[in-house]
Amino acid sequence: MNRDRLNALADEFRALQDDIVAGVENVEAQHGGSTFVEDAWTRPGGGGGRTRVLTSGKVWERGGVNFSEVEGEASPGLKAQMNTQADRFWAAEVSLVLHPKNPHVPIVHMNVRHFALSDWTSWFGGDVDLT
């Protein structure tokens, strides 16, 4: 794992979270609505994140836009599933769920993530859907 590359990816994911939150808050501000509340957290095994939640908005009834970056020792189960001898893992993601007040507007869910192992195996993944 190239630490500089992983740090740069984490910075991009943090910026994505910031941009999404700013966009949602901008729409809320135009309607006299709410802002997000942040809860920063740490993971005992390594890493942490920022959970941001909006409640009682004028446009969005409720929403969460979250960032996490975690790392640690690769478990035996992970090694078996991935067919690897990598001893460490690293993962970062941004995820969101936004529930609009208007019942005719769909709920949006999105997740984008990057996972890396110390043997240089890595991949991006994610999805977005409207419900």
3-state secondary structure the chain: CCHHHHHHHHHHHHHHHHHHHHHHHHHHHHCCCCCCEEEEEECCCCEEEEEEEEECCCCEEEEEEEEEEEEEECCHHHHHHHCCCCCEEEEEEEEEEEEECCCCCCCEEEEEEEEEECCCCEEEEEEEEEC
What residues are annotated to the active site? Answer: 109
